[in-house]
Structure 1
Amino acid sequence: MLVTLVLAGAIAGTGPATAHPAVECAGLDQLKIPASVMSLPTTGGRVTSTSVKTSVLSGVTITYCQVDASISPVDPAAPEIKMRLALPHGWNRQAMMFGGGGYNGTIPDLTANVPFGPADQPVPLARRYAMFAGDSGHQQNPAVPPSLDGSFGANDEALHNFAAGDALKKTRDASLFLIRHAYRAKPAEVYFAGGSTGGREALVVAQRWPEAFDGVISAYPAWNNLSEALYLGYLTQILAQPGAFPGVEKQKLLYDSVINACDGLDGVRDNVISNERGCHFDPRTLRCPGGADTGPGCLSDAQVTAVTAMSTSFEWPYRIASGETGYPGFPFLSGADMRTPFLGFGTTPPADPMPVTSGYGMQYWNQWVKHFLTRDPGHSAFAVDPRDPGKWRERISYLSTIQDRNNVDLRPFARAGGKLILLHGAADELVSHRSTSDYYQRVQQKLGAHSTGTFLRYYLVPGANHANVGAPAFAAGWDSLSALESWVRKGQAPVRPIVTDASRDRTLPLCEFPYWPKYRAGDPGTASSFACTR
């Protein structure tokens, strides 16, 4: 089937229209991708299939050519990189790459929105972006819960493709080759957007290939991946202790107690804790009489110890090569939504073998120990102590050089004209916003506050959790893509942005860190009633 892809004209928010020669979608099928177009070693690639798709996205009917391709590894034992492009009719001369999540292993949905994207604005493909993404160099085992298959870590090339981000550049280079072949023109700008692992990948491309992307959206980024893995292992072993795991009823008790104690610190009671750093809830106030577990209305001594550990920093007493020394803990005592326990505590305690009902982070640690650290699928996650790893310490140190992407010298990215938007929810229960704040402050310390502000904005969203999963206190939505477009193309940095709670029809000012929205007067559901306060 032959379909003509012609740039029909500009749409709102895009650059000027330019006519392009017609291309045939089916004519891309089986096209070879030379290894020479990729800056990192591969043995080339090939388009494996093409098809014409029509979808209604953001209320707009979009017809596009879907191109599936694969990139072959250097190591014959390594898996291929699977990738996909969506090449729309009426291309706007822009391109965007999506990042993944967890251990990846699947290709992100190219018809989706950017992280924390608003429901009332078009998704990138509906704006006629040429979209592309990859699976980061391995394929998810369907027998394992989605994004929790770490078995690829047994292969060095696959490990580097995922953890060091090599697959990102290979996929980007191959995709731009196909875009140029399809449209007979290269994109005017190329963007990257991702959250969680995808947010980490967004920082990776800015750090490692500063000229590869013009604008980057990094949401709730797991940038210090090795460091968080050690922290998750520490929590796994604490929560597995007899009587330490707080069940779902106790998780709700904790959540409600934190809201009752800290909700009004921002000037209004609206079930959103905006002044998160001012919240100092002591879980010992929920202690059961005598310290024994007497039911859902209190916490035992073991449970108080567990929830305190989850919300405080963990530091390991040995050096690792990345230079990281600890992980800052989750804000469970600062308004994290315990109505979504899957990502945080889970519904059952961690055990060996690891149940799928345990917390996501505990399952992540289990996969990491088996496939990244020991490379022994039969190795127990409880046989490695992050505080004293013994013979595994050297391997941990080596992995930190691959997984902790902590280069804060973003001057090459800034000099190339790159712009970066950082977003994180203050109630994130899987990747700590404190960690993102730490990274941002390190950038400021390295470059200076003024220089940082010329290319980087960091916003902390009160009440927002990890990827708006479940029923967050604040289901964040902001048109970061339009803001990034204006910054990249016109040099207009975001000014007084507003974030919407999609589930409750209310708005808040999106305050640049370390500011937070304080209620002044008026309708508490309207952003104008708040002022960003330090």
Structure 2
Amino acid sequence: MLIAGTVSAASVSGLTEAQCVAMKNTHIPALRIGLPTRGAVITTVAIAGQPVETHCKLEGQIKPVDPKAPDIQFQLYLPLVWNGKALQLGGGGFDGAIKGADTARLAPASVPGALKQGYATFGSDSGHQGGVSDASFTLNEEAWNNFAGAQIKKTHDVAVALIEQAYGRKPSRLYFQGNSQGGHEALAAIQRYPLDYDGAIAIHPVYNVVELHMAGIRIGQAVYNTPGAWISPAKAALISNSVLSACDKLDGLTDGIVANVDACRAAFKPERLRCHDGKDNGDLCLSDAQLPLVEMLSKPVSLGVNLPTGDHFAPWPILLGADAPALVSVFGSGADKPKPASSNIIISFPYMMGDQAVRYEVMRSPDYDSLQFNPAQHSTRLKELASQVDNDNADISAFVQHGGKLLLMHGTADMAVPPGNTLAYYEKLKARFGEKELHQFARFYLAPGFTHSSGPFRVSWDSLGTLDKWVDHGIDPGQQIMIDTNKATAGREMPLCEYPQFPKYKGQGDIKSASSFVCTTD
């Protein structure tokens, strides 16, 4: 089936500006897309990135079957000099916007951008427009199904059709990279559409979304329904600084980063912060109403319902090196129950996301009070949602047999999606394939001091280069290096160690150089 409005194909390695402009109003028939749509159309074409990364930028819409459903808005970036490969990029939160469809996630400043390397890159808004913390779109079934994973295939197929039109052939390699919700989408891509991808990078992936949101509800109820439980920003700093004082040195170097998290579990106990009489006596201690909240977060969180991945969610690293801002994002900036969006009070982020899921996905009622939600009473609906959106299947045999490679990474200080959650999925992979076989196609890295997007060590990492060398040239990932992008410590290096190892300072050498550290479990 020919694409309406086609232009003469460029040479395999190149695309002219004239050929780019001629792609405007191109229509992709529904038969070229592997899931039901009414086809797709290019709406905007532009030459961009001059003079360094000149490329053809296409914007378009994938039309839904349900005329009341939103379009899938997508972007495709075509370099004028193409390396023959493509990179699909994931979104964040509840999506609702196209998140940086032109650049690899967390790439170091010293590494040329994906477009400059010659990759065609693309991404979508997942099938609706709105804020990353707005789940109102889920009231439309097709919009929900798109977010739950269908948009990944639809966007992929449209992009590949356009790439083939532009360059005269399909990509020789196609990778997916994403973090957070985008990491969830990366795992969805290889589990649901394994033959479409040669490799994937999933950074702090929210692969079991429903379970995470139920944990967020439990956190919100503990914070807002229990008088005196809320932990102020000053007390969040107390917790963070106390953990750092006890655990920073356990990796051989006092540098503001807790790398030896296993030793930290034994070295710090929250009871030492208890107010002498258990009452809230100010910012230098925790009351008997606040300590249970810390305890709840530092252990597997009960969901109040048995879901596909269990009845508990992974513990948050509240006592393992998370910085004060990351803790505040979980506790919120005020003790009052959540108020309208116009309020200056920042509410608990895990609760905010769970609240959206409960009101729109479960109860289908925007006015419902999720602080009164009892998950056990809605077990059937929650399991239905999990079956639609979660991606916890460890049997990725089809992807592996296709030659696919997987890189997993998570920050040890992530208070938005706890690292233990990704660890749980990695352990499922290990149980399915065995450690030796798993090592042939998957690697899991833990980044000390990295939260969901910042933290004491704000990671940059050439994951795309690592993946491509592994897939295309058979070069084993070997020792990885992460580079800090925090302004005060920009440029310092540290090994990005394979789980269960951590980077330990050797006792001598430049503390900003990865060569001065060794990956170890001791």
Q: 1:160 aligns with which of 145, 153, 156?
A: 145
1:503-522 to 2 correspondence within 5 Å? Answer: 503=486, 504=489, 505-522=491-508
Asked if structure 2 preserves the Cα contact closer than 8 Å seen for 1:4 and 1:23, the reply is: no
Asked if structure 1 preserves the Cα contact closer than 8 Å seen for 2:326 and 2:414, the reply is: no
Asked if structure 1 preserves the Cα contact closer than 8 Å seen for 2:326 and 2:451, the reply is: no
Separation of aligned partners in 2, 1:218 and 1:41:
27
Q: 1:458 aligns with which of 430, 444, 448?
A: 444
CA deviations over 1:205-260 (Å, ceiling 9, x no partner):
01111111111111000111111111000000001122111111111111000001
Q: 2:368 aligns with which of 335, 355, 379?
A: 379
Q: 1:325 deviation in Å?
A: 2.6
Q: Which residue of 1 aligns with 2:466?
A: 483
SS state of the match for residue 325, structure 1? Answer: strand
Asked if structure 1 preserves the Cα contact closer than 8 Å seen for 2:217 and 2:351, the reply is: yes
Separation of aligned partners in 2, 1:317 and 1:406:
20
Please identify, of 118-127 and 456-465, the stretch whose mean Cα deviation from structure 2 is larger.
Answer: 118-127
Q: Which residue of 2 aligns with 1:272?
A: 257
Asked if structure 2 preserves the Cα contact closer than 8 Å seen for 1:5 and 1:90, the reply is: no
2:115 aligned partner, one-letter code: L
2:77 aligned partner, one-letter code: A
Q: Which residue of 1 aligns with 2:269?
A: 282
1:303-318 to 2 correspondence within 5 Å? Answer: 303-316=290-303, 318=305
Seq. identity, %:
36
CA deviations over 1:363-389 (Å, ceiling 9, x no partner):
111111111111101111112034xx3
1:275-354 to 2 correspondence within 5 Å? Answer: 275-280=260-265, 281-316=268-303, 318-320=305-307, 322-341=308-327, 343-349=329-335, 351-353=337-339
Q: Which residue of 1 aligns with 2:422?
A: 436
1:219-298 to 2 correspondence within 5 Å? Answer: 219-240=203-224, 241-280=226-265, 281-298=268-285
SS state of the match for residue 235, structure 1? Answer: helix
Separation of aligned partners in 2, 1:197 and 1:209:
17
Separation of aligned partners in 2, 1:260 and 1:225:
34
Asked if structure 2 preserves the Cα contact closer than 8 Å seen for 1:342 and 1:360, the reply is: no
Q: Which residue of 2 aligns with 1:72?
A: 63
Q: Which residue of 1 aligns with 2:3?
A: none
Q: 1:495 aligns with which of 478, 482, 498?
A: 478
Q: Which residue of 1 aligns with 2:4?
A: none
CA deviations over 1:334-391 (Å, ceiling 9, x no partner):
10111345533232246243656112222111111111111101111112034xx32x
Unmatched segments (≥5 aa) in structure 2: 1-6
Separation of aligned partners in 1, 2:507 and 2:371:
52
SS state of the match for residue 67, structure 1? Answer: strand
Q: Which residue of 1 aligns with 2:167?
A: 183
Asked if structure 2 preserves the Cα contact closer than 8 Å seen for 1:352 and 1:382, the reply is: no
Separation of aligned partners in 1, 2:503 and 2:24:
52
Q: 1:521 to 1:440 in 2, by over 3 A?
A: same
2:241 aligned partner, one-letter code: D
Q: 2:125 aligns with which of 126, 130, 135?
A: 135
Q: Which residue of 2 aligns with 1:51?
A: 46
Q: Which residue of 2 aligns with 1:143?
A: none
Q: Which residue of 1 aligns with 2:111?
A: 121
Q: Does 1:421 align with 2:404?
A: no
Q: Does 1:366 align with 2:355?
A: yes
SS state of the match for residue 163, structure 2? Answer: helix
1:339 aligned partner, one-letter code: P
Q: 2:457 aligns with which of 471, 474, 483?
A: 474
Q: Does 1:38 align with 2:21?
A: no
Asked if structure 1 preserves the Cα contact closer than 8 Å seen for 2:115 and 2:121, the reply is: yes
Q: 1:29 deviation in Å?
A: 1.2
Separation of aligned partners in 1, 2:406 and 2:133:
28
TM-score (norm 1): 0.91
Q: 1:177 deviation in Å?
A: 0.7
Q: Does 1:205 align with 2:189?
A: yes
Separation of aligned partners in 2, 1:170 and 1:464:
33
Separation of aligned partners in 1, 2:439 and 2:189:
19
Q: 1:316 deviation in Å?
A: 3.8
Separation of aligned partners in 2, 1:408 and 1:150:
28
CA RMSD of aligned residues (A): 2.0
CA deviations over 1:129-158 (Å, ceiling 9, x no partner):
111100111111xxxxx4111001111211
Unmatched segments (≥5 aa) in structure 1: 8-16, 141-145
Asked if structure 2 preserves the Cα contact closer than 8 Å seen for 1:210 and 1:412, the reply is: yes
Asked if structure 1 preserves the Cα contact closer than 8 Å seen for 2:216 and 2:352, the reply is: no
Separation of aligned partners in 1, 2:17 and 2:189:
32
Q: 1:527 deviation in Å?
A: 1.8
Asked if structure 1 preserves the Cα contact closer than 8 Å seen for 2:446 and 2:497, the reply is: yes
Asked if structure 2 preserves the Cα contact closer than 8 Å seen for 1:341 and 1:359, the reply is: no
Q: 1:123 deviation in Å?
A: 1.9
Asked if structure 2 preserves the Cα contact closer than 8 Å seen for 1:350 and 1:359, the reply is: no
SS state of the match for residue 154, structure 2? Answer: helix
Q: Which residue of 2 aligns with 1:396?
A: 382
Asked if structure 2 preserves the Cα contact closer than 8 Å seen for 1:195 and 1:467, the reply is: no
2:387 aligned partner, one-letter code: T
Q: Which residue of 2 aligns with 1:84?
A: 75
